[in-house]
Amino acid sequence: MKCEICHKADASTAIRRGDGDNADELYVCAACAKAERQRRQKKSLRTRKVTGLPPGVSMSVTEVSGDGEAPPPIIGAIMDAFHSMVSDLEKAEKEAKPEKAPEMSDLPIDGVDAAFCAAGRLHLEALHLIGEIDAVKRAARALGMELSGIEADGVKDAGHVYSLRHHGAKKRARRIMSALVREERNARVRLFEEMPRVFGDSLCRALAVMKNCRLLSPGERFDLLSPLRLAAREGMLDGIDADEIEGMLSADDLANAEDELEQPERDRLDAERADEMNRRFEDVMLNERAEEKFL
């Protein structure tokens, strides 16, 4: 049987086109099936009006449900693991002069798995998306340390990348950093397996903005690239790979240098940046693996 779309190649799969009772089942070749899927993705991700396309197709959404368990007790896990360190810190705090706070320094990320690092900092996007990043910050403060994010162009904690600031022995801080990486790894598993709608929402929003924004600051771009980085590392995107996204993250100037410019010049740079991202992400799509999770 020949493909019912191109009428040339042999049909190898069935697809549905149309909505509700008007939907038709067509037998098509692999190439036409892929083209139909990409057309459907482009239409669902664009916000600009597109003319000349055939009627849209219906898409089912998989119900998202968890196992009913409460979120992992991150604060308790970290505090229990480092109970003795808390005692040491409390003792040191009592002995320290109250009028002088200890100086903190950034702990290098040497030796941390590259999957959990971006732009020279810890990448904790999954902990943010599952709603646990504030709890992790409080746990770090309780241990006398600080998770320091980036504020760029009005975006607080842009990209959800952090430096671990500490004082005292590096060995203690290293153990805390290892605990943070472990919690982020667990959060990513939970995000992909139990909360795909949450991740899919963040990913599709970021992709849609990259395709259609008219002005884009460095801080905004950095923040939007964060969920795209996770998706690329999980092999969920066609048209771009993780290495290219990593390069974009490293290239962004987050020092708010453009704040010194006049508004017309800032708008011009933001417009050029937006146009560049529109072109680069025009053909970036969710692949079949992502569709199974999010569509």
Radius of gyration of the chain measured on its C-alpha atoms: 24
Q: Residue 280's Cα: distance from chain center in Å?
A: 18
227: Cα separation from own chain's centroid: 1
Q: Report whether 196 contacts 188 (CB < 8 A).
A: no
Question: How much is the mean pLDDT over the chain?
Answer: 83
Q: Are residues 102 and 203 in the same domain?
A: no
| pLDDT top residue among 165 and 5 | 165
Structurally, the chain folds into a number of domains equal to 3
What is the pLDDT averaged over residues 149-165? 94
pLDDT at res. 29: 87
**pTM score of the predicted model:** 0.69
Which of the listed residues 193, 211, 229 is the one where a domain comes to its end? 193
User: Which of 55-64, 92-101, 252-261 comes out lowest in average pLDDT?
Assistant: 55-64
In a domain, 65, yes or no: no
Identify the bridge partners of residue 122 per DSSP, sorted by sequence position: 117, 162
**Could you tell me if 54 and 79 lie in one domain?**
no
204 vs 17, 69, 189, 244, 291, CA distance in Å? 23, 27, 19, 19, 11
Which of 193, 225, 245 finishes a domain? 193
Query: Is it the case that residue 47 has pLDDT exceeding 80?
Result: no
In SS3 terms, 106-160 reads as ECCCCCCCHHHEECCEEECHHHHHCCCHHHHHHHHHHCCCEEECCCECCECCHHH
- HSE, CB side, 13 Å, CA atoms: give it for residue 193: 7
Which residue range(s) make up the domain with 137? 74-193
